[in-house]
């Protein structure tokens, strides 16, 4: 379950930023997770519940923004929704070689006190 290592990284980032702001507690952590990032959201949420104990984020809320997959079909010259690692254009059936979004995995914001 690589989601635990992702949670550990998110908590490390949040705690580092909180300490640099002289904060005592982390209230909210917002992250973006692309649908093509290979992350299981329920496992990420479970990992966060376990890993946050005893940290500045002990009572923090985790907000996850699910970023849909989007690619560019060169055959149609259109941006199309994609939801798999081998994306096929729904219009022309060709392989979509260019992924524009959906692989994101980043911290968007942290709210501290």
- What tens digit of pLDDT does each residue of 52-78 get? 999 999 999 999 999 999 999 999 999
What are the mean pLDDT values of the chain's consecutive 10-residue runs (113 residues total)? Answer: 93 98 98 96 97 97 98 95 90 92 97 97
How many folded domains does the chain comprise?
A: 1
Q: Is 73 annotated as a binding residue?
A: yes
β-pairing verdict for 69-73 and 98-101: antiparallel
Has residue 59 been placed in a domain?
yes
Q: Is 2 annotated as a binding residue?
A: yes
Give the CATH number of the domain where residue 59 resides: 3.30.2320.50
Has residue 43 been placed in a domain?
yes
What whole-number distance in Å separates Cα of residue 38 and Cα of residue 84?
A: 10
Q: What is the pLDDT of residue 84?
A: 87
**CA-closest candidate to residue 27, choices 63, 73, 75:** 63
Has residue 80 been placed in a domain?
no
Q: What is the pLDDT of residue 85?
A: 83
Radius of gyration of the chain (CA): 17
Has residue 76 been placed in a domain?
no
Contact 98, 74 (CB under 8 A): yes
What whole-number distance in Å separates Cα of residue 40 and Cα of residue 3?
A: 7
The predicted model scores a pTM of 0.89
Q: Is 110 annotated as a binding residue?
A: no
Has residue 88 been placed in a domain?
no
Has residue 86 been placed in a domain?
no
Q: How far is CA 112 from CA 12, 14, 20, 59, 72, in A?
A: 14, 9, 11, 11, 38
Q: What is the pLDDT of residue 1?
A: 60
Q: What is the pLDDT of residue 105?
A: 97
Q: What is the pLDDT of residue 98?
A: 92
Range of the domain at 44: 3-68+102-112
């Amino acid at each position: 379950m690589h989601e635990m290592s992702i949670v550990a990284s998110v908590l490390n980032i949040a705690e580092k930023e909180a300490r640099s702001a002289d904060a005592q507690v982390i209230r909210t952590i917002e992250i973006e997770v692309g649908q093509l990032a290979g992350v299981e959201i329920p496992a990420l949420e479970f990992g966060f519940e376990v890993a946050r104990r005893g940290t500045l984020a002990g009572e923090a809320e985790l907000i996850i923004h699910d970023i849909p997959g989007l690619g560019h079909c060169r055959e149609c010259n259109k941006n199309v929704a994609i939801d798999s690692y081998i994306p096929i254009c729904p219009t022309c059936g060709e392989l979509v070689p260019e992924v524009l979004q959906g692989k994101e995995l980043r911290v968007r914001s942290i709210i501290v006190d």
